Amino acid sequence: MLEMPTADALERYLTLTTQQMKLTATNMANQNTDGYTRRVASFSNNDTVNVNGISTSSGVSATVTAQRDRVLQRSLQQATEASSASSARTTALDNLQSLFMIDSSGDDASGIGAAISNFFNSMTSLGSSPSDTNTRQTAYTAAQALVTTMNRTASQLSSQTSSLNQQIGTSVDQVNSLLTNIASLNKQIQQSGGQDTDGLQDQRDQAVLSLAKLVDVNTVTATDGTVNLSLSDGTPLLSGTQAMNLSTATVSGNLHILSNGNDVTSSVLSGSIGGLLQVRDQDIPAVQQQLDAVAVAISSAVNAQNAAGTDANGNAGGDVFSGNTAATLSMAISSGGGIAASSDGSNATAIGAVASQAIVGSMTASGAFSTMITSLGQTVSGASTTKSANDAVLTQTSTQVANVSGVSLDTEAANLTQYQRSYEAAAKVLSIANELMAQAINLGQQTTVS
């Protein structure tokens, strides 16, 4: 049975094709817009109408859909969380390692390694010249230098911790700002009344991805089109149009993250905040603990040995150092006269010999400090390897998402050419149909006159 399109159907098709060309142009214009999801128009045939034995098409209708893959989107979100965490941690660890970087001469940037060696060497020299005031003063100055380098390095570690606290606080503010934005987008989508929300969803997806750069976040889409967000442990961040903003509080000198008054710091495992927390709460304390162990071991061993001799005035030796951490290490004597070298220098020699004794577990002071630097280097190397792996996954996942949702200028240009040809063909058919209709009307009028 003959089926032919009506003029109205052709006009609708022209309108739809025009819309499709505009849609393609919109895609091309937004190729570089962050978060934009490619739009595709799909056509479906409307029902045909039978008129006097002729099936007449009533045309086609178009539906515009955004090319989203929620599974891929979730994978991108997780890859973003991991990459941001490892990137933040690597940067912070690089700053930490810079305090102890070994130069071409073999000295570390902190100067602690050299200070330890200089101190014990000066004691050995004093053992050879116990009555020489200059040698005694040199030993005292070396002890002061050791204290100064320990104090300075501990202060630098503390400063890095403070810097991380500031970064965490700023990042929490960013989290809250994003939650407020997403809540607003949720509300607009919820109240859309059936209107197109693809643009709003693009903005929301991009905002959630920005949130994933800061914290690990679980996303659940509700039946009304809104999304609910929570931390990895289920702590709610957003419920529909209600944002549950985070807050901060200082606990034992460190900034903690709170949700509704509850401490959720340990629940933030990834995103840049997770990476910063790992350095602040694990990596820096590990270095600090090892540095303190070296400082305390030197202080204890030297004080014990100094007590075995007599000072410049012939009195029993007292403590050379005081303090129980690298930060609190200080001089317990006010001059070189307090060093109990003994008259024959034997005790100064014995103090110098502490350099070769296992006073930090099974290690010497210098050995323990070197081990600390090596351990830190391994931590940095491991973090760098993890970052490279996470970045590779992010790149791969981003490519997969782009292949589904991104705009290809080549593809859109080819589509545009196809639509233009379809439009021209339909316009030609419509022109012929209109011409035939005019001829038929004219013929009918002539027949009536006859």
- Which range, of 52-56, 172-176, 204-208, 418-422, averages the lowest pLDDT? 52-56
222 and 337 both lie in a single domain = yes
- Same domain? For 359 and 431 the reply is no
Least confident of 77-86, 184-193, 439-448: 439-448
Co-location of 391 and 411 in the same domain:
no
Q: 310 forms bridges with which residues in the sheet?
A: 316
Which one is predicted more confidently, 54 or 418?
Answer: 418
Say whether both 83 and 16 belong to one domain: no
Q: Which residue has the tokens 């993250």?
A: 257
Overall number of domains in the chain: 2
Edge to edge, the sheet with strand 48-51 lists 3-5, 54-57, 48-51
Predicted local confidence at residue 2, as pLDDT: 44
| Residue 1: per-residue pLDDT | 42
Q: What is the pLDDT of residue 15?
A: 65
Task: Estimate the crossing angle of helix 198-212 against helix 133-190, to 10 degrees.
Answer: 160
Amino acid letter, 270: S
For residues 6-30, average pLDDT: 68
Report phi then psi at 252, rounded to 5.
Answer: 50, 40
Shared domain for 306 and 349, answered yes or no, is: yes
82 and 190 share one domain? yes
Two structure tokens written together for 325:
């951490």
Lowest-pLDDT choice from 87-101, 175-189, 267-281, 408-422: 408-422
**pLDDT tens digits along 299-357:** 999 999 999 999 999 999 999 999 999 999 999 999 999 999 999 999 999 999 999 99
Residue 14 confidence (pLDDT): 64
Confidence of residue 78 (pLDDT cuts 50, 70, 90): very high
**pLDDT digit string (tens) for 234-248?**
999 999 999 999 999
Alpha-carbon gap, residue 333 to 240, rounded angstroms? 66
For residues 148 and 200, membership in a common domain is answered with yes
DSSP state for residue 310 in the 8-state scheme: B
Whether residue 434 sits in one domain with residue 379 = no
Average pLDDT, the chain: 88
Q: Are residues 61 and 79 in the same domain?
A: no
Q: Please report, for residues 144, 157, 183, 295, 424, the alpha-carbon distance to residue 148 in angstroms, rounded to integers and kept in the order given.
A: 6, 14, 52, 11, 84
pLDDT at 54 over 70: no
Q: What letter represents residue 191's amino acid?
A: Q
Mean per-residue pLDDT, 378-404? 95
Which has more pLDDT, 14 or 213? Answer: 213
- pLDDT, tens digit, 9 for 90 and up, residues 108-164: 889 999 999 999 999 999 999 999 999 999 999 999 999 999 999 999 999 999 999
Contact 100, 288 (CB under 8 A): no
Task: Give the list of residues 6+ apart from residue 371 with CB closer than 8 angstroms, or none.
Answer: 290, 363
61 has pLDDT over 50: yes
More confident residue, 58 or 251: 251
Q: pLDDT of 167-225, one tens digit each?
A: 999 999 999 999 999 999 999 999 988 788 888 999 999 999 999 999 999 999 999 99
Q: Looking at per-residue confidence, does 335 or 4 come out higher?
A: 335
> Which domain range does residue 439 map to?
3-67+406-449
pLDDT of residue 66: 73
Tell me how far the alpha carbon of residue 71 is from its chain's centroid. Answer: 21
Express as a percent the part of the chain with pLDDT over 90: 68
Judgement on whether residues 324 and 444 belong to the same structural domain of the protein: no
- Backbone φ and ψ for 33, nearest 5 degrees, come out as -80, 120
| Amino acid symbol at 105 | S
Q: Do 304 and 445 have their domain in common?
A: no
Residue 54 is encoded by which pair of tokens? 């002729």
Pair 172, 262 in one domain: yes
